[in-house]
Amino acid sequence: MSLLEVITKASIENSPTTSDGDFSIVLNSEPALLQLKPEKEESDDISLLKRGTGWSLLSTDVEVIESGQKFFKNLKKMMKNPNTFNKEGFFEVLVSYMTGIWDIFGISVSPDKVDEGNIVKMIEKLGSFMGRDVKGLVLEACVVLETWEILESMIVNGIVDHSGISSLINNLIEKKQSWLVVLCVKHVLDIQTYDMMCVLKYFLSLSKNGDSTLINVRREWESQAMSAIEKAKDVSLGPVRMDIARDASLLLMLAHDGFSVSEMCLHYLLASRNVDEVILGACISKLTGSEIMVLIRYLQKWLNKYERFPQVCPCPKAPFELGLKACEWVPSLEDIVKCLGLVVDEHFSSLVLHQEFHEELKSLEEVVNSLTAEAKICGILSNVTEALKIKTQSIEANIGEFDEVWRTRATQANKNAKESYNPHPEKVAANLNKHVHRSEEGSNSTRRDLHKYNGPCVATNPIDRCWRCDPHWAKNRQKLADCVLGFGHHTTGGKGGKIYIVTDPGDNDMVNPKPGTLRHAVIQPGPLWIIFAHHMVIKLNQELIMTGDKTIDARGQQVHITGGASLMLQYINNVIIHGLHIHDIKSGNGGLIRDSINHYGFRTRSDGDGISIFGSTNIWIDHVSMSNCDDGLIDAVQASTAITISNCHFTHHNDVMLFGASDSYKQDAILQITLAFNHFGQGLIQRMPRVRWGFVHAVNNDYTHWIMYAIGGSQHPTILSQGNRFIAPPNPNAKEVTKRDYSPESVWKNWVWRSQGDLMMNGAFFVESGNRNHKFMTGPDMIHPRAGSDAGRLTRFSGSLNCIEGKPC
């Protein structure tokens, strides 16, 4: 029998009808079905969907809808006048509406008195008949009048849906109704990521004893634990249920003993069906340092308990067999380990830099190692164990032992950053634009000449014009230091120092590097201008740790850093890197590495960035060609600032640039970086750059390729995009230049992202945000950028140059 025949038969007969298929279909006669008939008896339409006529709402449904509309209008009108809107009036119209619904169904009800208690009983029975608009308005009225019993009933009985939960959670947090926030987590499905993040931050900010409303949380866990203990002694339950009760009593005592009431709130969140790994990761990424510490200590308590009581396991039967519903809200060991892994992944920078986290991480590593040895969910634990091992061993960004030397460097670096920070970044941007206008020459064509240029010297931008067309550049190499513009304009590198000639491409001794090697050069004290005797390919066995006041100048030779580890600029000041090819960089294994003439120490595994700038200032990277590194091409993190990246050519890479490594590391607000005259070319996917916290001026760059997006960010960075050319990819879903991470539009709409004079091609578009009246500079000091149509010409000679001594470069 076909499904259509089953439905037809059921519409006519009063008795239940079943199909004779593999799965029975039970249908009963429904008056509404008897009225249905095709709109046209005969039709040539071969569609399986046929328009029907004869459908109508039941009269009771119509009355319920009309009653709700009338109530909505009355309540809305009452709420418009906050001076007269009160509980008595609200209760009266609400009871009238609810009793009206009962009357529609022929049930005569007259409550003894109009109060919250009776309204709660009515909502339990009739709340499901409220329409969405009515529910939302009643919730709003409950919050305004603080009728918490009614609100609790609506939450517990499933009358709150996802359409109204966001504003409700925010209002409850604002009014510090912690118990109701807990109930939202327990009973409301489909809570959105942003709202769950607000709940997590709220729970982590509560004092140990929480507020007065949280006495219900303590009572719930205590009563459930005591009930489990009593049931474990009740022989009338039988041996099977007694065993379930014993397991549940141990589980519930673990969840109760030793946890503050505010920590018990976290139980509900970690065990919630609303929270998967993606949502939890997004929430954790937004935590501050103090919130991370609270969460780590909470997770550590759980891990210690699971280590001490290895026999404890979830009790899925206890809620149904014994009514011990709290067992559903006990985070499993797997939940705890996943959360810990996300904390480690999302907050690497904070965990690395701040001393207060170090002991916590070392303790966690010991507990996790112990649990792994016991083979408790070993797959997940082994991943976290490895991550913790890396974090605790590299506890100051690959520094195995953060000794007095490194502490002194970090302190000085922090001082340098504060001194280098410019409180008027818009003036730096305007000064660069002024120099571009002064150097203007040649065609305004938007076309990029893809052929190798063999003509006379053409310096197309002000940085190049400063030195490139001088045939005697090799005799006056240090003039290059006078040419930098942008936020790194104070960088002098090794100017005033001796010339050091690298003669040996080898890198065999990390502790006592051989004279003539690049590793020996970069650890020398004082200013030094490092050049190369001939073409060479250098494979670094471990990351190259530089000291300050250095210039690496590869002009006149083709120098490739490839196949090995990366360049590390950590807690140093005043470095120029010019003319290198950096590609195919791999993660270093770590070991003993010399970082200065008088110091060496143990380093852990490096990330595999092309150039890593960590807590460093006054950095200029110019005419460097970069591609295909294990991690990023250039990362600038941990309050690095006063950086210019110019005339570089980037190709064939996923995560191109990361400026600011953590949403929780507010010190990166000091970050100021200029991107000028760079070509973002073939094979790039995203992050050109991705920015947190700081200020980035991207000016006259040529973005000819991306797959996902070009410029992204989180944590309200300021981005000024001027005179760039953006050529979107063919993919219609990747036309947007910009991407905001981990924040709803209500948040990122306040971030200042501006596009001025950019050229958008092939459907590219830049989503601006921030106050529309915000101006970076006004009056006679305001200098507009060169147009994006000039970007192809200004970046024509990006990347490493083929300079020959005695000739213009």
- Catalytically active residues are 687
Beta carbons of 484 and 644 less than 8 angstroms apart: yes
Cα 596 from Cα 409, distance rounded (Å): 12
DSSP string, 435-499: HHHHT--S--------SPP-SS----SHHHHTTTT-TTTTTTGGGGGG---GGGTT--TTTTSEE
Cα 264 from Cα 301, distance rounded (Å): 12
CB atoms under 10 Å from CB of 606, counted, come to 27
493: burial class by Cβ within 10 Å (0-12, 13-18, 19+)?
buried
CA-to-CA separations, 662 to 202, 344, 665, in angstroms, rounded: 20, 11, 5
Residues 6+ apart with CB under 8 A from 691: 659, 660, 671, 711, 712, 713, 717, 719
Instruction: For residue 773, give the DSSP letter.
Output: T
Amino acid at position 139, single letter: L
Residues 6+ apart with CB under 8 A from 268: 182, 185, 186, 329
Q: Helix, strand, coil shares of the chain as percentages rounded to 5?
A: 40, 15, 40
Cα 726 from Cα 687, distance rounded (Å): 14
Please give the sequence-ordered ranges of beta strands (E in DSSP) within 677-793, or none if there are none: 679-680, 684-686, 690-692, 695-699, 702-703, 711-714, 718-722, 725-727, 738-740, 753-756, 759-761
* Residue whose C-alpha is closest to residue 613's, from 571, 670, 563, 579: 571
The 528-532 sheet, strands edge to edge: 498-502, 528-532, 550-553, 573-578, 617-622, 641-646, 672-676, 695-699, 718-722, 753-756
Cα–Cα–Cα angle for 737, 615, 283, rounded to 5 degrees: 55
Amino acid at position 707, single letter: I
Return the H-helix or E-strand segment holding 635. strand 634-637
- Bond into 331 cis (ω within 30): no
* Residue whose C-alpha is closest to residue 222's, from 179, 180, 268, 264: 264
Beta carbons of 715 and 739 less than 8 angstroms apart: no
Instruction: For residue 514, give the DSSP letter.
Output: P
Return the H-helix or E-strand segment holding 544. strand 544-545
Beta carbons of 586 and 562 less than 8 angstroms apart: no
State whether residue 583 is helix, strand or coil: strand
